[in-house]
Amino acid sequence: MKVLKFGGTSVGSAERIGSIANLLPANEPCIVVLSAMAGTTNTLIEITNKAKSDNMHEAMEMIRTLENKYIATVKKLYQSQTYQNRGELFINDTFLQISRKVAGGLSEKGSREIIAFGEMISTALFQMYLTELGFKSAYIPALNFMRIDKDKEPDYFYIEENINRSIQSSPFVQIYITEGFICRNATGEIDNLGRGGSDYSAAIIGNVINANEVQIWTDIDGVHNNDPRYVENTSPLRHLSYDEAAELAYFGAKILHPSTIQPCRVKEIPVLLKNTLQPQDNGTLISVFRNPQGIKAIAAKDGITTINIQSSRMLLAYGFLNKVFEVFNQLQTAVDMITTSEVAISLTIDNADKLDEITKQISKFSNVTVSKNQTIICIVGDFEADKNGYAALVFDALKEIPIKMISYGGSSNNISISVDSQHKVKALNLLQKIVASRTATLNSELIAQPVNI
């Protein structure tokens, strides 16, 4: 069984929703995971924010506008008057529920419930569309099986037990449709997996059903060797290892949710990234297979804060590292990148919500300075042993860029540097000069010698 996830742009219009049916496997069962239609989640969040600010009139106007958008979609999507009527009735009922929840006053719990309607709507519309076409399909609500624990981690045992129960309740169906992104938390309330969480949903589902492949369908033809928003003439990579893909996702590649790789890597389930606008394109395959050594791609992560910490005891500061990281542990703040010496540490964080408390605590035993508006640039590939001197190529290419931090050697899959964000675009373009020719070589090698997964 395969798992296919379609993102917001892939279900962004009646035409896009209709085209998905042609992308489903013809001769094997599959689970289809859908995001909300493009723009819907942002609009629902804005509606909840308006309501919380007592701007009820604007909130209700936004609800009506969004409802009208969906009514127009229904009229284009379904061919028969019967299904158009069913679709309109479903949309009217759904937005009546949203209006009542907003009018009743919103808590955080109520806000999450409203935001979840985005995925519920797209899933219901697609299931009705398949039914109209005569496909054997069934809706399996994500809220019946997808759950996170108190640490916001997937409850795999619960998910496996309940999704299999849902599948077994419709044994003669070939297509199972469910929502991405949304779930229940440890207390049973409606919650979600965070931005881009539909990818993560698909990976979790793939893990628990032992899928033979997880497909992530977006509007981009795979993982590119650099950020096409800032660099011209980037190219898609035809294959990445799990480790390389995980590094790129974590350090800024927008095509993939950072948590997607791990559930599939555990069971060596291939992940295929495809483009719904160009379904004939090969996309990017992520698997256990490792490419030849060298540089594969560049990613950048903005909004970084650098914290420089120097021990007040200077040399021989026994236990210094332990004291520093205990602060980050207590304040539940993750560290992205770190460099150390005998008496000093430089590290980066991407969540500065608790920065003041962090600096206050560390200042009790160290001298602390902070630099904001930093960017981590991650050069991803296979640098094990680095016999061919790829690190030297990287630093030679960046000789015009003031580098604040360097992290190399902790992983054989990346070289990370930190720069002021004002230098990001120039750095990405300088690095493109060395990655472009390498991408062409790698892709040609894979064509000549196909990946064995």
- pLDDT tens digits for range 75-96: 999 999 999 999 999 999 999 9
Domain end call among 219, 244, 268: 219
Residue 453 vs residues 30, 46, 199, 290, 338: alpha-carbon distances, Å: 20, 44, 21, 10, 34
Residue 177's domain is classified under what CATH number? 3.40.1160.10
Say if residue 270's pLDDT is above 90.
yes
CB atoms near residue 98 (< 10 Å)? 21
Give the pLDDT mean for 366-384: 90
256, part of any domain: no
Domain end call among 219, 235, 268: 219
Say if residue 251's pLDDT is above 90.
no
Number of domains making up the chain: 2
Question: Is the pLDDT higher at 229 or at 4?
Answer: 4
Q: Are residues 100 and 213 in the same domain?
A: yes
d(Cα 139, Cα 150) in Å, to the nearest integer? Answer: 27
The whole-chain average pLDDT of the chain stands at 91
Give the pLDDT mean for 259-280: 94
Give the pLDDT mean for 36-40: 96
d(Cα 118, Cα 69) in Å, to the nearest integer? Answer: 13
- pLDDT tens-digit series, residues 162-201: 999 999 999 889 999 999 999 999 999 999 998 889 999 9
pLDDT attached to residue 271: 97
pLDDT attached to residue 188: 96
Q: Are residues 203 and 319 in the same domain?
A: no
Residue 381's domain is classified under what CATH number? 3.30.2130.10
Q: Which domain holds residue 98?
A: 2-219
Say if residue 453's pLDDT is above 50.
no
- pLDDT tens-digit series, residues 146-163: 999 999 999 999 999 999
Domain end call among 190, 219, 248: 219
Say if residue 343's pLDDT is above 80.
no
pLDDT attached to residue 386: 62
